[in-house]
Structure 1
């Protein structure tokens, strides 16, 4: 039977072995304990933001106003002499040209008056001729001392009286001719004639009122109210002139009228209730697409507008000092820049000053960053 031998372990060896084990355990323990701490003490990730470059664009700002068409000329036809109407010379609602005969008042009495006045004038002319002969004869006799000078004076007076009577008869003839001309009522302008108040056989006078109305249709005027602040801005930009302003009409079906208009004038008096000024524009209307007193939308926009610096509305920020944006510079750092803005159109803001074309403004992630911070910037639309 074998006896197990116990070996005596050297103290030096035991101490050395324990030290090695302790060091190994310490290294492992430190490694396990230090890994999450290291992760916590490392650099934090950069905040991600979306940027857009400042661009130059032509921004056409449209203004829409509620307008109403208005005939430039609307003339009521009235009788200037009395009489019975002949058959109408037009169809109600038809187009008429300036000078067209529309109504005729029976002319017989006025034609007779003209002939009578003509006869009276011829009689007066005969009296003038007779008085002139008598005056010439008395003049010769006075020169020969055959008759007294007083007889020449009487002849001279008779001649002047005859000439005055002739002038009166000439005036009567002109008046009779004028009355005769009034028996034909003419179209005062091109346009559309409405319904006739009186028909054939009716007796009319100047007191009868309107016989019919002629409304001019081409061109046609459109009136619309404009806020005073917009007028001031337009005057500063010289948009009130015809050359720098485009006026269009949008009809009730949503389509634009094919002809552009031009601004005629602004009323001198503002409406105190609405703080607006009435503008009047003129549009061609050759096809009669527009009617008098029709409701339309007037769309005004600047013509040949200059390119301007613009940014997205999402990039603009406001505080007590005004407008500003956050910009990412070449080093990836966030900078704050104060800007002066203009109009805001279709999601864009016109920048008057404070930025340059190509500057990268932050449009998304603004709430996560502050000036001086380094960020991870990506262009809008990039993944």
Structure 2
């Protein structure tokens, strides 16, 4: 009896242990619930846009003149203040005119004497003609008087030219502004002796104010899209300075260079802008926006939702089953902070805008609908 009792207890214990072990194994073998990634999803923006490309440019004056003396002499007056705006024809400098006035008076006197000699020679020639007809003068004397008349007439022309040159030199003593614009500082002041000619020191510089040019280089795509047909349809050009958030100044294409630079793949473009307030200063950097004026419908997305797969650009589209689908897209320009999608997306589709790094194409996702970033931002480029 004792032996049989001892035998049943281990069997019962073994059975209980087996049940516990089986339950543990069954619990350990149950599959864990799959974790579905949560992502932010936004519907693509669909609206009318005027697509533009933005480039960095530099402002250039339409007219820039180095003011130099055209006759030597002493500066007796400076008519402008440093940085003053002047009109075409306003006096800038006066070079002592007295020597040139004296030269003009002397040339005038020489002209008067030449005309008197010409009058006498002409009358003497007329008399010689009458004497020759009556055989009262030799042919040689007649020829001498004829030659004297021609020489006197030529002397008059030379004296007239000398007087004209003297008057021109006298006029050069007053240096006027050749164009409307703004002068720099006076490099030579009253009392200085100045030389004449291109190699002489500049007295000041004068730049025109309005209109003003903006020179910039555009890529081949922009040229083919907008500028090669500039004569056939309107091209909108806008400009903004470094301290401005938008590109509010409206201009027009002034010229497009005649060839594309092979090394850079760009072509030089010049646009013209009105500058009546003088805020645009030659030499400043500026942002220049180029695009077609007529708006067209476009799909736009946040740039951060676009990923790169080798040379391709793509987004993850969330379909009706909340599955992420790979979609290659082709990009346009930035408009109001959003990227234009030239092809690859349709209006009404939704894409992942945050959490894309946690998702693989074909996976289920938990969707949190958010607005497209920048969709309601103020329009900065208009």
SS of the residue corresponding to residue 261 of structure 1 reads: strand
Match of 1:225 in 2: 217
Residue matched to 2:180: 190
Q: What secondary structure is seen at the aligned counterpart in 2 of 1:110?
A: helix
**Which one has a bigger Cα radius of gyration?**
1
Which residue matches 1:69? 59
Which ranges in structure 2 are unaligned for 5 or more consecutive residues? 1-38, 372-382
- Are residues 208 and 160 of structure 1, via their aligned partners in 2, closer, same or farther at CA, if it must alter by over 3 Å? same
In the alignment, structure 1 residue 234 sits paired with structure 2 residue 223: no
Q: Is the Cα–Cα contact under 8 Å of residues 235 and 290 in structure 2 kept in the other structure? A: no
In 2: Cα distance, 1:337 partner to 1:326 partner? 6
* Aligned equivalent of 2:117, options 120, 123, 127: 127
C-alpha separation between the residues in 2 aligned to 1:159 and 1:224?
Answer: 66
Residue in 2 aligned with 1:102?
Answer: 92
How far apart, CA to CA, are the structure 1 residues paired with 2:83 and 2:346? Answer: 62
CA 1:73–1:311 in 2, change beyond 3 Å: closer, same or farther? Answer: closer
- The answer for the alignment partner of 1:287 in structure 2 is 277
Task: Give the Cα–Cα distance (whole angstroms) in 1 for the partners of residues 281 and 312 of structure 2.
Answer: 52
Q: Paired residue for 2:25? A: none
Residues 1-383 of structure 1 mapped to structure 2, 5 A cutoff: 57-206=47-196, 208-235=200-227, 238=229, 243-252=234-243, 254-256=244-246, 258-271=248-261, 273-308=263-298, 341=330, 343=332, 345=334, 350=341
Q: 1:99 to 1:262 in 2, by over 3 A?
A: same
Residue of structure 1 in register with 2:377 after alignment:
none
> What is the CA deviation profile of residues 75-131 of structure 1, one whole-angstrom value per residue up to 9, with x for unaligned ones?
111111111111211112111111111111111111111111111111111111111
What is the TM-score with the length of structure 2 in the denominator?
A: 0.69
The 10-residue stretch of structure 1 (241-250 or 189-198) with the greater mean CA deviation from structure 2: 241-250
Q: Distance in 2 between matches of 1:290 and 1:151?
A: 76
Paired residue secondary structure (1:69): strand
> Conserved in 2, the CA contact under 8 Å of 1:315 and 1:363?
no
Query: RMSD across aligned C-alpha pairs, in angstroms?
Result: 4.2
Count of matched residue pairs: 327
Q: Is the 8 A contact 1:315 1:361 kept in 2?
A: no
CA separation in 2, counterparts of 1:250 and 1:65?
12
Encode CA deviations 1:282-341: one digit per residue, 9 max, x unaligned.
Answer: 111111111121122223343122224668886999899998998979xx9x9x999985
Q: Tell me, in whole angstroms, the C-alpha distance in 2 between the residues paired with 1:89 and 1:211.
A: 12
SS of residue matched to 1:164: helix
Q: TM-score when scaled to structure 1?
A: 0.69
Change (3 A) 1:114 1:219: same
Q: Is the 8 A contact 1:312 1:363 kept in 2?
A: no
Q: Which moved more, 1:218-227 or 1:281-290?
A: 218-227
Offset of residue 195 of structure 1: 1.2
- Please state how far the C-alpha of 1:259 moved relative to its aligned partner: 2.9
Change (3 A) 1:212 1:141: same
Partner of 1:23: none
Q: Which residue of 2 aligns with 1:26?
A: none
- Which ranges in structure 1 are unaligned for 5 or more consecutive residues? 1-48
